[in-house]
Every structure is written in C-alpha cells, then in structure tokens.
C-alpha cells in the first residue's frame, strides 16, 4: 500500500508542476503580446519568446512523465 501512496503523491506533484508551468506560460504570453502590440521589440521580447518555448517543452516533458507513471501505476 505504501508504494501506491507514493506513486499517487508523485503524480499529484507532477500535476502541480504542470499547473505552475501553465501559469508561467500564460504570464509570459501576456507580457509578450503587450510588447508586440506596443511595437517594442527589444531583448525582453525575444527572451520572453525563448522562455515561453522552454516552458512549453518543460510542460510536454512533465506530461510524458505523468503518463509514464500513470501506466506504471497499473502494475502496483
């Protein structure tokens, strides 16, 4: 039973990290869109775009880990 609880806790933590990642992507996207509408294409605009892509890739990685762990949960 302890292994099952540990696996469920791990899955809940991954979901939390995914939620935080989505919040960061939304925040960065809002800032980028405001800069785009104001025609301010400075280094912050490009850094924000790069960070957004990195966080989207992180979200995809976390989703893959979540699915893998969920599939492993069947074996426990």
pLDDT in tens, 16-52: 999 999 999 999 999 999 999 999 999 999 999 999 9
Q: How far apart (Å, rounded) are the C-alpha atoms in residues 62 and 44?
A: 26
pLDDT at 1: 65
pLDDT digits (tens, 9 = 90+) for 45-62: 999 999 999 999 999 999
pLDDT score of 75 more than 80: no
CB 10 within 8 A of CB 51: no
pTM of the model: 0.86
Percent of the chain whose pLDDT exceeds 70: 97
């Amino acid at each position: 039973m302890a292994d099952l609880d540990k696996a469920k806790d791990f899955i809940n933590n991954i979901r939390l990290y995914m939620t935080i990642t989505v919040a960061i992507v939304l925040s960065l996207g809002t800032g980028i869109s405001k800069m785009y509408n104001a025609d301010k294409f400075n280094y912050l605009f490009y850094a924000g775009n790069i960070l957004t892509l990195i966080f989207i890739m992180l979200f995809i990685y976390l989703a893959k880990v979540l699915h893998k762990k969920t599939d492993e949960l069947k074996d426990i």
